[in-house]
Amino acid sequence: MSAVGSTSVLVVGEALVDVVRRADGGVDESPGGSPANVALTLGRLGHTPTLLTRLGDDERGERVRAWLAQSGVGVVAADAPRTATATARLDASGSATYEFDLDWALLGAGAGLPASIIHTGSIAALLEPGATDVTRLVRSLRQSALLTFDPNVRPALLPSREEARARVEAWVAVADLVKASDEDLAWLCPDKDPLETAEAWLASGPAVVVVTLGGGGAVALTRSGRVRVAAERVDVVDTVGAGDTFMGALIDGLVQSGCEGAEARSALREISPQSLTRMLEGAARAAAVTVSRPGADPPWREELEGA
């Protein structure tokens, strides 16, 4: 597939294998990871993103690489002793407990990679020692690139709510566009309404803060006001990868709106309600496709254009 433009999108973060162990003894494995899913979405929407991550030289790592390559995603990976896994153990009722086998660090990988838009978030931006690597890299690139951020918190991997909140807020303050779910905001700041937290985040630096509300749609906050869109009506199979699809489609919307590179920061701060509505509607449409089928399976550009 040809790229939609010359934009260099660099996604920084974890790629792993999701392992589901069912009560009947069955085991399913599939590639995943929040930033990897964002990169996958961008590739399927016609971009040629690069994912900077960490992978082992093993069968699981090869599977992740092949999965990304099939959707046009380039991979630059720091070496790991083994590819990370996230294991969900299901009991007879279907309830899950989660275990992570993940050692996150970039080990100097990624120096010199071009980018006009950088995206990071989730485990990669919050879990040490790799979070410091990511911070250092993003700071070196931010002078030429827009930065998008999605906290996508994983409480089981975080030392405490207070420390996680401090780290997330530090990222929010330097990001240009932030996307967060209402569930993330409620976990990070349980004593506040999610949109109240989003308003505080907006005041700290970003041009746009987007809050996804599940079946309630999404709302974008800017200094000139709010824009809200409804969720697309579909039969939901599962919500795996929906937020990551939404994030990837938002980045696609930035490109379609001409917002790329550091020079677009002022334009993003002045983005019109009409442009922002188009971005949110496109992201909601893409996420609706993902939730209509099992697993993290974002739509291809042709699927959205043919809808």
Position 53 in a domain: yes
pLDDT band at residue 3 using 50, 70 and 90 as cut-offs = very low
Classify residue 115: in a domain, yes or no.
yes
Which of 162, 154, 148 is CA-nearest to residue 205?
148
In a domain, 149, yes or no: yes
User: pLDDT tens-digit profile of 163-221?
Assistant: 999 999 999 999 999 999 999 999 999 999 999 999 999 999 999 999 999 889 999 99
* C-alpha to C-alpha distances, 106 to 13, 117, 125, 136, 236, nearest whole angstrom: 9, 19, 11, 11, 36
Domain count, the chain: 1
Q: Would you say residue 86 lies in a domain?
A: yes
Over range 15-36, report the average pLDDT.
90
Domain presence at residue 2: no
Confirm whether 4 is domain-assigned.
Answer: no
3-state secondary structure at position 206: coil
For 33, the token pair is 């990871």
Confidence (pLDDT) at 288: 94
pLDDT attached to residue 98: 79
Asked whether residue 223 is domain-assigned, the answer is: yes
pLDDT of residue 1: 34
Decide if 264 contacts 145 (C-beta within 8 A): no
Give the domain range for residue 236: 9-298
- CA 211/CA 195 separation, integer angstroms: 8
Least confident range from 20-34, 36-50, 52-66: namely 20-34
Q: Residue 190 domain-assigned?
A: yes
Task: Classify residue 295 as exposed, middle or buried by CB count within 10 Å of its CB (0-12, 13-18, 19+).
Answer: middle
